[in-house]
Amino acid sequence: MNKLIHYRRFLLLLAMLSATSFGLAQKRLTVKDSITHEAVPFASVYFGNESGGYTDEKGMIAIPKGAIQIRLSHICYETKSIAKVTADAQTIYLVPKSITLDEIAVSAKAPKRIKDKEVGLMKAKTQTKHKGANGFEMALFIPYDSAWTETPYIHSILASLDYSTHYQVFTEIKTPIHATLRFDLRLPNAKTGAPRDESLIDGGIILPSCQKLGKDGVSLTCPIPFPQTGVFVVVEWITTAQVSESCNLIPSLNMTLNEKENKTWNKKAFRGMDWIQEQNEPAYQNEEAQDFYKGKTPSAKLGLRISK
C-alpha cells in the first residue's frame, strides 16, 4: 500500500513539473511557404529592441520574452508583421514575391566559357577586417564596364574571408560561433543606389557553417548576363543560435582601404536599420577611427568571376 501511495505521489509530482516546464517554455513560430506549405529556413525575424533571429532548417524559431514586435522577412517572400503569438506554437505563412526584373534575363543554359576574368576587389590589399554579426549584410557594388564589347556572364561569387578567432590584434573571440552565409546578387535601387530587395539568383546561395569558402567562391547554378546597371554582391551572416547582434561571428570579411571611391554598403536588420553606405557608418566618424583608417573607410573584398 505504501509503495502504491509513493508511486501515485511520484506521478503527481512529475505531472506538476511537466506542466510548469510547459508553461515556462518559449513560444515558437514555424514559418512556411503559403503556396507549397514547405518550411522557410533562414527567414529573418525581428523582435524589436534591436534583437532578432533566424528560423532554422525546419522553419522554426523561439520567440523570446519581451519581444515588442514580430516582423518576418526573406529575400524571396513578402515581409509580414504579426501583433503577437497567440499560442505556444503557431504557424505563419509567407507569400512568395512576384518579381519582374526587366533589366536582366537569366540564362537557362550555361554559356561556353571563352575567357575567365575577376572583377571586384579580391586582389586589393587586405588592411582590416569586418566582424560577422547576426542579421548583418554587406554589399559591394560592381559597375558594368563600358569598355566591354559584349556582355559577359557571371559564373561565381567571390569573397575574401578570415576564419581566425581574432577580430583585431588584441580582441579574441573566446567562444567562436561559425555562421551560415548567404551570398546573393542584387540590382541597385534607381533612386537610392542601395541594393534592391529582390534576388537575381532565386534567393541566393547558402554556404553552411561547417563549410569554408575556397578561392573559387560559390558557383551560380545558371550563369547570368552581367546587368548593364551594375550589380551588388551581397553576403549575409546567419546563425540560429540565440546571440545578440553585437556577438562576433566567424568568418570575418577582409577589407581594403585603397579604393578612392567606396562602393560598399551595409545593413543591420536586427537594429531595424536599412542599407547605408559604408562611409556613412557612425563608427567611422570619430577622430580616433579617422586616424586609424587614415581618413578612409574600408571597402569589402568581394568579387565576381565572369567570362565572355
What's 116-307's CATH class? mainly beta
Rounded Cα distance between 193 and 189, Å, is 5
Comparing 109-123, 148-162, 179-193, 206-220, the range with the smallest average pLDDT is 109-123
pLDDT at 212 over 60: yes
- If one counts every other C-beta atom within 10 angstroms of the C-beta of residue 228, the result is 13
pLDDT of 101 strictly over 80 = no
Residue range 187-202: mean pLDDT, rounded: 95
pLDDT at 110: 53
DSSP 144-193: --TT-SS--EEEEEEE-EE-SSEEETTEE-SS--BPEEEEEEEPBPTTT-
Angle at 117 between CA 114 and CA 121, to 5 degrees: 165
Separation of alpha carbons 45 and 86, rounded Å: 17
Can you tell me the mean pLDDT for 282-288? 78
Fold designation for 2-94: Immunoglobulin-like (2.60.40)
Determine the average pLDDT of the residues in 145-165: 94
Once rounded to an integer, what is the mean pLDDT over residues 25-54? 87
Residue range 130-152: mean pLDDT, rounded: 93
**Above 80 in pLDDT, residue 164?**
yes
Domain residue ranges in the chain: 2-94, 116-307
Could you tell me whether strands 249-256 and 299-300 are parallel, antiparallel, or unpaired per DSSP bridges? Answer: antiparallel
Among the ranges given (113-127, 146-160, 166-180, 288-302), the one the predictor scored with the smallest mean pLDDT:
166-180
When mean pLDDT is compared across 20-24, 78-82, 271-275, the lowest value belongs to 20-24
Say if residue 19's pLDDT is above 50: no
Question: Residue 258 CB: number of other CB atoms within 10 A?
Answer: 10
Question: If you count them, how many residues does the chain have?
Answer: 308
- Check if the beta carbon of residue 275 is closer than 8 Å to that of residue 197: no
Q: How confident is the model at residue 114 (pLDDT cuts 50, 70, 90)?
A: low
Higher per-residue pLDDT: 102 or 165: 165
pLDDT tier at 165, thresholds 50, 70, 90: confident
Mean pLDDT of the chain: 83
Least confident stretch, 34-38, 103-107, 291-295: 103-107
What is residue 160's predicted lDDT score, i.e. its pLDDT? Answer: 97
How much is the average pLDDT of 90-116?
A: 67
106 or 208: which leads in pLDDT: 208
